[in-house]
């Protein structure tokens, strides 16, 4: 079934990681709907939230391929875990003396905030899930949108430990030491 | 201890057990080439084109099981490696590509010979990095080599700017690799292994498909135990050739587009496919929706992303093959599949894909068989890509692991000649035969000079049919003989060899084949035989594209009776 999926990933904060992830998705012909990246509570780690359209099996396949990227520590598809999703939009909308009060009413209904006022426009910040933000933008469209910027979705699964929760009792850093087995040591070098 | 980046690189390579570097110098690599003489234990082999360095390192890795290292300068040197890196990526060969980069203060300014090679190679490397600080170099080298060799092996690339090679810094060899996101899964899930053994213990018509993963994991004994204990016939993939002795009574050739008819039939009629270290490549499966229609699939692979990629597995097992098979073998019971095996033998009798037919003219198949007879199979066969490659797979019998080196996944014409260099350097005491077509040979012909400079005892067989044979075959069979762009005007290959200082002979007749092969073997150093073969010979069996494995075409009769 094709639907919107939300992938969340814990990645090492190194150059090229975003590139590798985008490259893998592009190769499998996924169109990234949004991608949001930010640091988490542990130094040198970031969390990515990727939303994309796709068939369940294909998304699972690409998830496994993304998990192969060396810098990806964990990646999970939380689509079916009833996650809390939010995104933020900043909208600069035309506002004359005659339309301003109507806009403010809409802003109130959507619990959005006006963060900047100028004689002929307003900047409004709205937070909500994708559907709410889109409905809000549609309502403002009639007044004339001058600029629009959206963060893309971020999401957390509800309840206790999520798939990316770090268990502090266990060391996160998986330190590997490659020790040759005796058999490997004695391999015929032919 | 204070050392320059170039010294750190050499020290780290030696500490990692690297003995050979295939390389080609250039401006930004001069600090490194100035350092090499201080490390005589590190052998540098000068190739004639960076692509050759990559293929040689790739083949070296396949033959030795150790990492192959290639080295190129920035810009064009680095981009010339790309084909070779892609080749190693598709065939899972552990390889470290080191590229020089313009000095850090020039990066991003389109400096002379600057290319963003880490950007270019993202989709074809397991891991790559631009090293901007000499103090981090040792750590990156250790990580890169660890990643390349562990899990599912593959190529990695380190891009090192000139000033990083020159900077002096405190050198400490990192004892540990710290990669929190990299955890190859080595042991299969016990519940899945139990499911697999239950299936193996109950089915009637099982087949094992063994791929290159068996070679990589060195699970030869475990595979043999599984096959013998359960009496399961073994079919290999093209890259799995040699992982199970072809002289074994349970060996039934290899599958796929040019695989043996009986192998393809066995899979098609089986009720269980045990796929081990293979990835259901389209050349192996034919139309994938009609692959093994009656069979349940057990898929064992170390790369979780391969499970369910091309074909859904009923029992997926992610783990190192050697480990998985060791556990699995304890749980399987002794079985006999007398009627199933006799059915396979019957199919083998009616589809004798490996018989050389009686023919006046010089057949490539005959030549391959003669090489087998003269060498008694005790040689490493390195091939290029095309018709001769398929014949080398079909008409030579491989009993030794890693004795067949070929470009499977990428199908890189030009692979053969440089790969034979890597194979010979990796296995100096083995006989090496490089089998090429007249097309692919000319793609990397310059490496003849490398062979001469290093005095490598390599026997080269060029099958000259005057065509790009495999493409011509498709034009004949699928495009109604509309030949275009496939006929070759060829040089005199013996004279080419002579110009490089290599002895060679031209063979036109069957009677001269064996003496020429013997002469090549007796000669120390490189030796080239140009075989002028039947121009329009086709590779059979042939599963045309879009067909299932059992819809293979066989050699049309009566083009000659089959020699029994």
CA angle B404, B408, B412 (to 5 degrees): 110
In the predicted structure, residue B426 carries a pLDDT above the cut 80: yes
In the predicted structure, residue A182 carries a pLDDT above the cut 60: no
Judge whether A161 lies within some domain.
Answer: no
Residue corresponding to tokens 């239950």: B198
Question: What are phi and psi for residue B527, nearest 5 degrees?
Answer: -145, 135
Q: H helices within B427-552, ranges in order? A: 438-441, 448-453, 469-477, 493-499, 513-522
Mean pLDDT of chain A: 87
Classify the complex by whether its ipTM is higher than 0.90, answering yes or no: no
**Mean pLDDT, range A58-62, rounded to an integer:** 92
Judge whether A176 lies within some domain.
Answer: no
Kindly list the residues from chain B whose CB atom is less than 8 angstroms away from the CB atom of residue A16: 118, 122, 128-129
**Mean pLDDT, range B538-561, rounded to an integer:** 85
Contact B242, B404 (CB under 8 A): yes
- Best residue in B180, B313, B400 to probe A by mutation, most A CBs within 10 Å? B180
Return the pLDDT at A164. 80
The pLDDT tens digits of the residues spanning A24-55 come to 999 888 989 999 999 998 888 999 999 999 99
DSSP B118: H
Question: What are phi and psi for residue B172, nearest 5 degrees?
Answer: -130, 125
Question: What is the tally of structural domains in chain A?
Answer: 2
Interface residue B119 vs chain A (CB under 8 A): yes
Distance CA B494, CA B18 (A): 35
In the predicted structure, residue B411 carries a pLDDT above the cut 50: yes
Q: Which of B264, B220, B217, B228 is nearest to B245 (CA)?
A: B220
Interface residue B128 vs chain A (CB under 8 A): yes
Cα distances (angstroms) measured from residue A88 to each of A79, A106, B187, B426: 19, 17, 44, 58
**Mean pLDDT, range B435-449, rounded to an integer:** 98
Same domain (yes/no): A24, A43: yes
Residue B374: Cβ-neighbour burial (10 angstroms; 0-12, 13-18, 19+) = buried
Q: Are B303 and A60 an interchain contact pair (Cβ–Cβ within 8 Å)?
A: no
B81: which residues sit within 8 A by CB, 6+ positions away? B50, B51, B53, B54, B70, B72, B97, B99
Return the pLDDT at B180. 86
Domain with CATH 3.40.50.1220 in chain B: 190-350
Interface residue A187 vs chain B (CB under 8 A): yes
Residue B326: Cβ-neighbour burial (10 angstroms; 0-12, 13-18, 19+) = middle
Q: At what angle do helices B261-269 and B338-350 cross, to 10 degrees?
A: 140
Distance CA B140, CA B116 (A): 18
Q: H helices within B91-239, ranges in order? A: 117-120, 134-149, 162-166, 190-202, 212-217, 220-230
The pLDDT tens digits of the residues spanning A143-177 come to 999 999 999 999 999 887 777 877 666 544 443 43
Indicate if the alpha-carbon torsion angle B495, B497, B501, B504 is positive or negative. negative
Same domain (yes/no): A91, A64: no
Distance CA B170, CA B64 (A): 33
Q: H helices within B280-412, ranges in order? A: 282-285, 321-331, 338-350, 364-375, 387-395
Contact B294, B323 (CB under 8 A): no
Domain with CATH 3.40.50.970 in chain B: 2-170, 364-532
Contact B91, B44 (CB under 8 A): no
Return the pLDDT at A168. 62
Interface residue B148 vs chain A (CB under 8 A): no
Return the pLDDT at A51. 96
In the predicted structure, residue B561 carries a pLDDT above the cut 80: no
Segment holding B69, helix H or strand E: strand B68-72
Return the pLDDT at A43. 87
What's domain B364-532's architecture? Answer: 3-Layer(aba) Sandwich (3.40)
Kindly list the residues from chain A whose CB atom is less than 8 angstroms away from the CB atom of residue B129: 16
Interface residue A23 vs chain B (CB under 8 A): yes
Judge whether A95 lies within some domain.
Answer: yes
Judge whether A169 lies within some domain.
Answer: no
Same domain (yes/no): A21, A89: no
Kindly list the residues from chain A whose CB atom is less than 8 angstroms away from the CB atom of residue B146: 176, 178
The pLDDT tens digits of the residues spanning B468-485 come to 999 999 999 999 999 999
Judge whether A50 lies within some domain.
Answer: yes
DSSP B129: E
The pLDDT tens digits of the residues spanning B9-39 come to 999 999 999 999 999 999 999 999 999 999 9
Smallest CA–CA distance, residue A30 to chain B, in Å, is 15
Same domain (yes/no): A89, A42: no
**Mean pLDDT, range A108-122, rounded to an integer:** 95
pLDDT more than 70, % of chain B: 99
Tell me how crowded residue B454 is: count the other CB atoms within 10 A of its CB.
17
Q: Which two tokens stand for residue B170?
A: 């405190």
Distance CA B312, CA B93 (A): 25
State which CATH number among 3.40.50.720, 3.40.190.10, 3.40.50.2300, 3.40.50.970 fits the domain covering B2-170.
Answer: 3.40.50.970
Return the pLDDT at A141. 95
Confidence of residue B272 (pLDDT cuts 50, 70, 90): very high
The pLDDT tens digits of the residues spanning B123-140 come to 999 999 999 999 999 999
Q: What is the CATH number of the domain that holds A103?
A: 3.30.70.1150
**Mean pLDDT, range B161-170, rounded to an integer:** 97
End-to-end CA separation in angstroms for chain A = 52
Which chain A residue lies closest to B131 (C-alpha atoms)?
A15
Q: Which two tokens stand for residue B82?
A: 């790309």
Q: Are A176 and B130 an interchain contact pair (Cβ–Cβ within 8 Å)?
A: no
Q: What is the CATH number of the domain that holds A27?
A: 3.30.70.260
Segment holding B81, helix H or strand E: helix B76-90
Smallest CA–CA distance, residue A82 to chain B, in Å, is 25
Interface residue A38 vs chain B (CB under 8 A): no
Superfamily for the B190-350 domain: TPP-binding domain (3.40.50.1220)
Q: Are B305 and A68 an interchain contact pair (Cβ–Cβ within 8 Å)?
A: yes
Q: Are B175 and A177 an interchain contact pair (Cβ–Cβ within 8 Å)?
A: yes
The pLDDT tens digits of the residues spanning B34-80 come to 999 999 999 999 999 999 999 999 999 999 999 999 999 999 999 99
Interface residue B428 vs chain A (CB under 8 A): no
**Mean pLDDT, range B441-449, rounded to an integer:** 98
Q: Are A60 and B308 an interchain contact pair (Cβ–Cβ within 8 Å)?
A: yes
Return the pLDDT at A169. 61
Q: What is the residue range of A40's domain? A: 2-81
Same domain (yes/no): A60, A90: no
Last residue of a domain, one of A49, A65, A81: A81
Interface residue A27 vs chain B (CB under 8 A): yes
**Mean pLDDT, range B393-399, rounded to an integer:** 96
Question: pTM of the predicted model, to two decimals?
Answer: 0.92
In the predicted structure, residue B532 carries a pLDDT above the cut 90: yes
Judge whether A168 lies within some domain.
Answer: no
Question: What are phi and psi for residue B529, nearest 5 degrees?
Answer: -115, 125
Same domain (yes/no): A51, A108: no
**Mean pLDDT, range A117-134, rounded to an integer:** 95
Distance CA B416, CA B55 (A): 8
Same domain (yes/no): A72, A108: no
Confidence of residue A188 (pLDDT cuts 50, 70, 90): very low
Return the pLDDT at A170. 57
Question: How big is the A-B interface in CB pairs under 8 Å?
Answer: 76
Same domain (yes/no): A55, A98: no
Mean pLDDT of chain B: 96
Distance of CA A183 to the CA centre of its chain: 46
Cα distances (angstroms) measured from residue B80 to each of A92, A151, B309, B526: 50, 40, 30, 25
pLDDT more than 90, % of chain B: 95
Interface residue B180 vs chain A (CB under 8 A): yes
Distance CA B381, CA B360 (A): 26
Q: H helices within B478-544, ranges in order? A: 493-499, 513-522
Judge whether A22 lies within some domain.
Answer: yes
In the predicted structure, residue A190 carries a pLDDT above the cut 60: no
Judge whether A186 lies within some domain.
Answer: no
**Mean pLDDT, range B537-541, rounded to an integer:** 96
pLDDT more than 70, % of chain A: 87
Smallest CA–CA distance, residue A137 to chain B, in Å, is 37
The pLDDT tens digits of the residues spanning B174-232 come to 988 888 888 889 999 999 999 999 999 999 999 999 999 999 999 999 999 999 999 99
């Amino acid at each position: 079934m094709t639907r919107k999926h939300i992938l969340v990933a814990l990645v090492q904060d190194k150059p090229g990681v975003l590139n590798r992830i985008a490259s893998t998705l592009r190769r499998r012909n996924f169109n990234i709907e949004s991608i949001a990246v930010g640091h988490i509570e542990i130094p040198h780690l970031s969390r990515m939230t990727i939303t994309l359209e796709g068939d369940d099996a294909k998304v699972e396949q690409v998830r496994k391929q993304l998990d192969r990227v060396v810098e990806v520590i964990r990646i999970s598809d939380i689509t079916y875990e009833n996650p809390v999703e939010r995104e933020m939009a900043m909208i600069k909308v035309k506002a004359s003396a005659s339309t301003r009060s109507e806009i403010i009413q809409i802003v109130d209904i959507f619990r959005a905030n006006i963060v900047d006022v100028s004689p002929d426009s307003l900047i409004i910040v709205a937070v909500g899930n994708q559907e709410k933000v889109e409905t809000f933008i549609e309502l403002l469209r009639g007044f004339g949108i001058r600029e629009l910027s959206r963060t893309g979705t971020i999401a957390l699964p509800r309840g206790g430990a999520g798939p990316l929760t770090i268990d502090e009792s266990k060391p996160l850093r998986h330190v590997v030491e490659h020790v040759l087995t005796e058999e490997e040591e004695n391999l015929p070098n032919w | 201890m204070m050392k320059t980046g170039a010294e750190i690189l050499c020290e780290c390579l030696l500490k990692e057990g690297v003995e050979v570097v295939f390389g080609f110098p250039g401006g930004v690599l001069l600090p490194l080439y100035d350092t090499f003489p201080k490390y005589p234990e590190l052998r540098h082999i000068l190739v004639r084109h960076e692509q050759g360095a990559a293929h040689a390192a790739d083949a070296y890795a396949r033959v030795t099981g150790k990492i192959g290292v290639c080295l190129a300068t920035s810009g064009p040197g680095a981009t010339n490696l790309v084909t070779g890196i892609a080749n190693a990526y598709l065939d899972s060969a552990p390889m470290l590509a080191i590229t020089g980069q313009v000095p850090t203060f020039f990066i991003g300014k389109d400096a002379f010979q600057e290319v963003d090679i880490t950007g270019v190679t993202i989709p074809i490397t397991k891991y790559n990095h631009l090293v901007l600080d000499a103090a981090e170099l040792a750590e990156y080298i250790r990580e890169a080599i660890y990643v390349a060799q562990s899990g599912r092996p593959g190529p990695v690339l380190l891009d090192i700017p000139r000033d990083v090679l020159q900077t002096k810094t405190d050198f400490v060899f990192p004892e540990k690799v710290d990669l929190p996101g990299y955890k190859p899964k080595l042991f299969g899930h016990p519940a899945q292994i139990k499911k697999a053994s239950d299936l193996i213990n109950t089915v009637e018509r099982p087949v094992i498909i063994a791929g290159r993963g068996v070679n990589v994991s060195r699970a030869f004994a475990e595979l043999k135990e599984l096959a013998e204990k359960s009496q399961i016939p073994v079919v290999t993939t093209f890259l799995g050739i040699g992982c199970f002795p072809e002289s074994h009574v349970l060996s039934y050739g290899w599958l796929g587009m040019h695989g043996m008819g009986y192998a393809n039939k066995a899979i098609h009629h089986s009720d269980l496919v045990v796929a081990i270290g293979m990835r259901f490549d389209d050349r192996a499966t034919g139309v994938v929706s009609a692959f093994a229609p009656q069979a349940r699939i057990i898929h064992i692979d170390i790369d979780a992303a391969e499970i369910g990629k091309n074909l859904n597995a009923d029992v997926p097992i992610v783990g190192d093959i050697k480990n998985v098979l060791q556990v699995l073998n304890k749980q399987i019971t002794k079985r006999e599949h007398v009627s199933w095996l006799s059915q396979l033998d019957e199919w083998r009798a009616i589809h004798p894909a490996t018989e050389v037919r009686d023919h006046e003219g010089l057949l490539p198949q005959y030549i391959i068989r003669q090489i087998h007879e003269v060498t008694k199979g005790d040689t490493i066969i390195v091939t290029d890509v095309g018709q001769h490659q398929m014949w080398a797979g079909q008409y030579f019998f491989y009993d030794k692991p890693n004795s067949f080196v070929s470009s499977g996944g990428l199908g890189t014409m030009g692979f053969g000649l440089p790969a034979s260099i890597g194979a010979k350097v990796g296995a100096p005491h083995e006989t090496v035969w490089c089998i090429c077509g007249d097309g692919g040979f000319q793609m990397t012909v310059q490496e003849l000079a490398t062979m001469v400079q290093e005095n490598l005892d390599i026997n080269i067989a060029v099958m000259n049919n005057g065509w790009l044979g495999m493409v011509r075959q498709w034009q004949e069979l699928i495009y109604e003989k509309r030949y275009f762009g496939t006929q070759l005007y060829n040089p005199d290959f013996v004279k080419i060899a002579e110009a490089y200082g290599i002895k060679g002979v031209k063979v036109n007749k069957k009677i001269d084949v064996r003496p020429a092969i013997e002469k090549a073997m007796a000669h120390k150093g490189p030796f080239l035989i140009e075989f002028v073969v039947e121009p329009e010979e086709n590779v059979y069996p042939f599963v045309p594209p879009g067909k299932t494995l059992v819809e293979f075409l066989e050699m049309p009769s009566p083009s000659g009776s089959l020699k029994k």
